[in-house]
Amino acid sequence: MKTSIKAKKWLVLSSIFLILIGWALAFSIAIPTHIRPLLLLAIALPVIPTLIILWMLSHSVPDDVMKKINEITQRVVSDKEIDQVVIRTEKLPKEVLPFVNAINRLLSYHHDRFQQERDFTAHASHELRSPLAGIRLQTEIAMMTKDPIQKENALKNVIKSIDRGTRLVEQLLIISRLTNEKVDLAKERVDLKKLVQEVVSENQFSADRKQIQLIAYLQIDSLFVEASKDSLYILIDNLIRNAIKHTPTTGKVTVALPKATNDSSVMFIVEDNGPGIPAGDRDRVMKRFEKGVKGSKAGTGLGLAIVNRIVSLYGGDVQLKDARLGHGLQVVVHLPIGLLSVSEKKS
Amino acid sequence: MRILVVEDDKVIGDGILQALQMQNYAVDWVEDVESALTAIMANKYEFVILDVGLPDGTGFDVLKNLRDSKNSVPVLILTAYDDVSYRVKGLDAGADDYLIKPFKLEELLARIRALRRRSMGQANPILQVGDVILDPVATKVKKGEDNVNLGPKEFAILHTLMEKCGKIVTKEQLEEGLYGWDMEIESNTIEVHIHGLRKKLGKEFIETLRHFGYRVGAGED
């Protein structure tokens, strides 16, 4: 393909060269002045149509290339077995391979995304069925029974199921917003210390209800960073809620915001004394709808997936470890967001 | 009739337990595969309601264990997955019926009655022995043309006896059908209820076979 285009370029150039020589000849040799234009015309005439044809050819796609493109079009097949559209690459000329491979990569990327979306929708609807089933059953019991205590208990269970469903919907919204291709992490000045205190006091009630000690280890000074406050709130809130959920009554949950070793990153640690997560399950639970105990219906299965997503949006990392003492889970989050200096604090 | 409920969702499990107790079934509720297997070994159930997703395995594990040990108790599977493939998997594994969450309580109860009938080999839901007619759906009993008012436990005992018409039912079997784990069995209760039933249906309707148990409709089967 390349060679044929090159040849045409040469042809065009040599034709122009020919005309120029003609001109030079016509003017330099002693030819009567009135014949000169005629001679010129005589040389130029046969060349001009050739030039026009060559010009047109150089602007249209050569036949052999067209043939190859048609061949590639034939190769675009819907692969029923993997339920995906691909261009088969066997016996393709190696010149077009990079192009075809790039198209295939793009197709497979969109196929994966589409698959993920489909799985997500299916999973989400399954997860919503349980609280709905609870609401339906308990409402029917409340309507059937004549015993006021039984009625009251049933209605309490209805509320419990509604709260669970609401939480699930909130979490689904958060994760679908966070998995958009373009996530806008609005930058604003955030006081991390104040933020952690806020999340802790928001979760105090549920900790008290299980008689769990919820302790925050914070520095004396405020820590200012430039980040999206909402995303950091969701991050810390999910870690603390998760810890409280998996810690037995009278247990202990600690949140620490240790002084970073350098000013270019921040670190959160949330630790509980619940059952912990076995090392082999730690990668799994970071995924959407995966729960610590497989098949369990406790929780939405989205908390750690949300944490993981926010951390990766910041380009940070999250580690699940054993608690330092006895049993339990320790979650360590590093975010590469720089601390604002004192002068910026005043701005 | 004694029913085992295997469900780890607290609100749903509690709901099923209460609904079935209101229907005078004896119900035991467990939340994982291990406890389900223990319960099945320790008690004779006439019906099992099985959730699929459990913390230590799946309902299919329980089902497989039941069928492998030649236990043919009717099993109804409850699940949030409405894929056809899942349904087929459940039925192929030996389940008798399938309900998708959320479900109507009325439908659950109707399916329990239908499976119970089928496992007893009857197509007609109305039971009749002599001139006594029992309607399990309406929980009504008639003797000839007259309505007979029975207490819930009396009804449950009569239902069991009439289902096993012509066969001897032991006192223990009747007790098992009346009480779940959370209820104290009062001694003499069965005798008291049998006495009550005889008063309402006629002395000779229920036979006592000393040291064996009770029987209705000896001549009919």
Token pair 């030649």 in the structure block, residue: B70
Report the range of poorest mean pLDDT among A99-113, A207-221, A293-307: A293-307
Which pLDDT score, from 0 to 100, does residue A261 have?
65
Q: Given CB atoms, is B218 within the 8 Å cutoff of chain A?
A: no
Tell me: the pLDDT tens digits for B149-173? 888 888 888 988 888 888 888 888 8
- Cβ atoms of B193 and B154 within 8 Å: the answer is yes
In chain A, pLDDT over 90 holds for what percent of residues?
22
What ipTM describes this predicted complex? 0.71
A253-268 per-residue burial string, b: 16 or more CB within 10 A, e: under 16: bbbbbeeeeeeebbeb
Q: How far is it, in rounded angstroms, from Cα A291 to Cα A300?
A: 8
A285-296 per-residue burial string, b: 16 or more CB within 10 A, e: under 16: bbebbebbbebb
The distance from CA A288 to its chain's CA centroid, rounded to whole angstroms, is 13
| Strand bridging mode A76-79 / A84-87 | antiparallel
Which pLDDT score, from 0 to 100, does residue A260 have?
65
Mean pLDDT score across all residues of chain A: 81
Q: Is the pLDDT of residue A224 over 90?
A: no
Label residue A257 by pLDDT band (50, 70, 90).
confident
CATH tag for B2-120 (out of 3.30.450.20, 3.60.110.10, 3.40.50.2300, 3.20.20.70):
3.40.50.2300
The whole-number average pLDDT for the span A301-325 is 87
Q: What is the pTM of this model?
A: 0.66
Which pLDDT score, from 0 to 100, does residue A345 have?
44
Q: How far is it, in rounded angstroms, from Cα A257 to Cα A268?
A: 5
Token pair 């910026």 in the structure block, residue: A344
Tokens of B5: 């409920």
Nearest to B102 among A129, A144, A293 (CB): A129
Tell me: the pLDDT tens digits for B126-141? 888 888 889 887 788 9
Q: How far is it, in rounded angstroms, from Cα B92 to Cα B82?
A: 16
Phi, psi angles (nearest 5°) of residue A118: -65, -45
DSSP A92: -
Q: How far is it, in rounded angstroms, from Cα A147 to Cα A238?
A: 39
Q: Is the pLDDT of residue A136 over 90?
A: yes
Which pLDDT score, from 0 to 100, does residue A294 have?
56
- Of the residues A130, A132, A149, A151, the best mutation for testing chain B's interface (the one with the most B CB atoms within 10 Å of its CB) is A130
Measured from the Cβ of residue A189, the count of other Cβ atoms closer than 10 Å reads: 13
Report the range of poorest mean pLDDT among A246-250, A260-264, B10-14, B160-164: A260-264
Q: Given CB atoms, is B102 within the 8 Å cutoff of chain A?
A: yes
Distance from CA of B217 to the nearest CA of A (A): 35
* Ranges of each domain in chain B: 2-120, 127-216
The whole-number average pLDDT for the span A229-250 is 90
Coil, helix or strand at residue A154: helix
Q: How far is it, in rounded angstroms, from Cα A314 to Cα A317?
A: 9
Residues paired with A84 in a beta bridge: A79
Nearest to B15 among A138, A293, A297 (CB): A138
Tell me: the pLDDT tens digits for B79-129? 887 777 777 888 888 889 989 999 999 999 999 998 888 877 766 778 888
| Strand bridging mode B206-209 / B53-54 | unpaired
Q: Is the pLDDT of residue B221 over 50?
A: no
User: Quick one: chain A helix, strand, coil %, rounded to 5?
Assistant: 60, 15, 30
Q: Is the pLDDT of residue A19 over 80?
A: no
Nearest to B19 among A137, A160, A294 (CB): A137
Going by C-beta distance under 8 Å and a sequence separation of 6 or more, which residues neighbour residue A11? A50, A54
Sort out which chain A residues have CB atoms less than 8 A from B58's CB and list them.
Answer: 295
CATH of domain B127-216: 1.10.10.10
DSSP A292: S
Q: Given CB atoms, is B109 within the 8 Å cutoff of chain A?
A: no
Distance from CA of B106 to the nearest CA of A (A): 9
Q: A136 and B80 in contact by Cβ < 8 A?
A: no
Distance from CA of A260 to the nearest CA of B (A): 39
Q: A297 and B53 in contact by Cβ < 8 A?
A: yes
Q: How far is it, in rounded angstroms, from Cα A320 to Cα A282?
A: 7
Please indicate whether residue A184 or residue A152 has the higher confidence score (pLDDT): A152
Nearest Cα to A251, choosing from A209, A203, A216?
A209
Tell me: the pLDDT tens digits for A145-171? 999 999 999 999 999 999 989 988 888
Sort out which chain B residues have CB atoms less than 8 A from A145's CB and list them.
Answer: 18, 22
Report the range of poorest mean pLDDT among A84-98, A243-257, B135-149: A84-98
Q: How far is it, in rounded angstroms, from Cα B13 to Cα B180?
A: 14
Nearest to A129 among B8, B55, B80 (CB): B80
A132: nearest CA partner in chain B: B102
Distance from CA of A145 to the nearest CA of B (A): 8
B185-210 per-residue burial string, b: 16 or more CB within 10 A, e: under 16: eeeebbeebbeebeebbeeebbeeee
